[in-house]
Amino acid sequence: MQIDIFLFVTFSLFALLASLMVISLANAVHSVLFLILVFCNIAGLLLLFGAEFLSFMLLIVYVGAIAVLFLFVVMMLNIKKTPIAQGFLSIAPIGLTIFLILYSQLSSVFNALNISTLKQDNLIWISWLSESQNITNIQVVGNVLYTKYCFLFILSGLILLVAMIGAIVLTMHQRTDVQKQKIELQLNRDFRGSLKFVNLRK
């Protein structure tokens, strides 16, 4: 077995098992952790298919931001384990309906691509692990962003900077009834008058 086929089967099995654990666990924290594992396996599959940009964006956006945010929110809310009152038979029709809809959509896509009519001679196997000399997706996207769309890229960065500064300004409340420290007055204070000796009567 080739190494890329082995990695494809491994990532696919781990992604399938982790996704089943996400929907079956009662603890919300464990579900979010398995969701992060699903994202990592899907990123490995995308990297194996040669889509490096999508793989790294999935890791940065979903694992690095959204999933960690979910984890923090769940841990801050301190959600307890709640017993599931509904039985399997009560939610089975909904699950079966969703399965039939997805199966019909996938079958229509496969029929449109005519995958079953393809011959083995027409299929060309490309090992993406050995294609290290070709230009990657990240190089192509970076070349386009920093040459053709450099103005729009810098403008989007400035818009995000203004939005961040605006959010900070809006959250700062200037209250006049609160005593605040004045660092310049504390630094200019005379240390000789800071201590006072008092004689206590016996």
List for the chain the helix, strand, coil content (%; round to 5).
70, 0, 30
The model's confidence at residue 199, banded by pLDDT at 50, 70 and 90, is confident
The model's confidence at residue 185, banded by pLDDT at 50, 70 and 90, is confident
In a domain, 151, yes or no: yes
The model's confidence at residue 84, banded by pLDDT at 50, 70 and 90, is low
In a domain, 165, yes or no: yes
The pLDDT value recorded for residue 5 is: 81
Percentage of residues in the chain having pLDDT higher than 70:
78
Mean pLDDT, rounded, for 89-118? 80
The pLDDT value recorded for residue 123 is: 59
The range of the structural domain enclosing residue 149 comes to: 137-172
Percentage of residues in the chain having pLDDT higher than 90:
14
Question: Phi, psi at residue 123, to the nearest 5°?
Answer: -85, 135
Q: Is residue 119 pLDDT above 60, yes or no?
A: no
The pLDDT value recorded for residue 82 is: 57
In a domain, 60, yes or no: no
In a domain, 6, yes or no: no
The model's confidence at residue 92, banded by pLDDT at 50, 70 and 90, is confident
Q: Is residue 68 pLDDT above 90, yes or no?
A: no
Q: What's the whole-model pTM score? A: 0.57
Alpha helices per DSSP H over the chain = 3-24, 28-48, 52-57, 68-77, 88-113, 137-147, 150-171, 183-187
d(CA 43, CA 119) in angstroms, rounded, equals 30
Q: Hunting for tokens 């993406």 — which residue is that? A: 128
In a domain, 168, yes or no: yes
Q: Is residue 189 pLDDT above 90, yes or no?
A: no
In a domain, 131, yes or no: no
The model's confidence at residue 200, banded by pLDDT at 50, 70 and 90, is confident
In a domain, 154, yes or no: yes
Q: Is residue 81 pLDDT above 70, yes or no?
A: no
Mean pLDDT of the chain: 80
- Domain count for the chain, please give it: 1
d(CA 137, CA 7) in angstroms, rounded, equals 21
Two tokens at 144?
């386009």
Q: What residue type is 187 in one-letter code?
A: L
Q: CA nearest 139: which of 80, 28, 56, 29?
A: 56
The pLDDT value recorded for residue 128 is: 63
Buried b (16+ CB within 10 A) or exposed e, 19-49: bebbeeeeebeebbbbbbbbbbbbbbbbbbe
In a domain, 163, yes or no: yes
Question: Phi, psi at residue 7, to the nearest 5°?
Answer: -65, -35
